[in-house]
Structure 1
Amino acid sequence: MSATKHSDSAPISASDPQPNQIQAGNAAAAAPVAEEVGFAECECCGLREECTEAYIERVREIYDGRWVCGLCAEAVKEEICRSSPCRPITTDEALDQHAAFCRSCQSSPVAADANEHLIAAMRQLLRRSLDSPPGIRSTPSSPSRRTPGDGEHPRRSLARSDSCFPTLAG
């Protein structure tokens, strides 16, 4: 049995039957399936997704009438797997635990602007480094230095020139 390759490929038109179309008797009588699309909001994280009504209903059947996004569904499955073998939890209990976790994450304060948060963190780091004594700042984090009397050659350290901070402030 040999496979043949067609060299002439015709573009697919809108009237050609598609895999998601229902075949009613013959190919000529095929009509496209109009799947209704709706929005569903996750009961845990609040994510809104555009899904077909059939998919929304299947998810609601699994989670006792509540709609859960795919990521939260995986987290709920993980909650069930992590539960004690002595006392396994139900899907509803796992969903409640995950929803509580999501609410606790959503209630934590979020910086209004990520750039402002970064600038504030850098400012705090700079202030801490300037407030520390100079001896501590210039000491390397490596083991203590040996003195020339230890039989090694003396190490030369880099001399510090003027600070660049007055230039930046001016």
Structure 2
Amino acid sequence: MYATIISEPVGGLPAPESQAAAAPKLNPQSEIESAKCECCGLTEECTPAYIEHVRERNMGHWICGLCSEAIKDEIVRSERLLSTEEAMATHMNFCMKFKASGPPLNPTIHLISAMTKILRRSLDSPRGSSSTPSTPMRMGGRPGLTRSGSCFPALTGVE
């Protein structure tokens, strides 16, 4: 089976080869720069246009995507109306304090403690309306599907 590539203009559009010849050939490596987040210090490789776009959105600061989401979250979680500048200053302050604290003495215990806090928060926080319970609920808040006994009484010795 053979495939033929037609390079004639279709519908008045120039052929792909003529488009490729008209576009300047750039070395992709020359277009990449390193940008360091002004909050957390993460370094990313980006194009100059993207770096400029991020700076325009963040009042001249280059902020990584993770810190940008943290700043948005800071605005949403705040009990009072926060401007983007205030939320960015709060997040930058948090990052500076975190970096200054140094590494934990025992990283394993630190990780276990952090995971415990996350688990407690997730269990204590009310679920959003978008999440559905895994067990259907009856009126009165009790699960609708409850197990009354074993399905195999001969195996468990319970009849």
> TM-score if structure 2 supplies the norm length?
0.50
- Identity of matched residues, %: 46
The residue number in structure 2 matching 1:29 is: 22
Structure 1 residues 70, 8: closer, same or farther in 2, change over 3 A?
farther
Q: Using a 3 Å threshold, how does the CA distance of structure 1 residues 25 and 108 change in structure 2: closer, same or farther?
A: same
Per the alignment, residue 18 of structure 1 pairs with none
Residue 52 of structure 1: aligned partner = 47
Q: Which has the larger radius of gyration?
A: 1
Task: Measure how far apart 1:108 and its partner are.
Answer: 1.4
Task: Show structure 2 runs of 5+ residues with no match.
Answer: 5-15, 110-159
Indicate the SS of the match to 2:22. Answer: strand
Mapped partners of 1:9, 1:68: distance in 2: 48
Distance in structure 2 (CA, Å) of the matches to 1:27 and 1:109: 52
Letter in 1 for 2:61: R
User: Following superposition, which runs of at least 4 residues in structure 1 exceed 2 angstroms of deviation?
Assistant: 7-10, 23-35, 111-114
Q: Which runs of 5+ in 1 are unaligned?
A: 1-6, 11-22, 119-170
Cα distance in 2 for residues equivalent to 1:64 and 1:25: 41
Are positions 1:40 and 2:40 aligned together?
no
Farther off after superposition, 54-63 or 101-110: 101-110
Given the alignment of the two structures, is residue 65 of structure 1 paired with residue 33 of structure 2, yes or no?
no
Which one-letter code corresponds to 1:83 in the other structure? Answer: S
Richer in strand (by share): 1
Asked if the contact 1:24/1:30 (under 8 Å) is kept, the reply is no
Aligned to 1:77: 72
Selected match of 1:101 from 77, 94, 104: 94
What CA RMSD, in Å, does the superposition of the two structures yield over aligned residues? 3.0
Please give the residue correspondences for 1:134-153 in structure 2 after superposition, counting only pairs within 5 Å: none
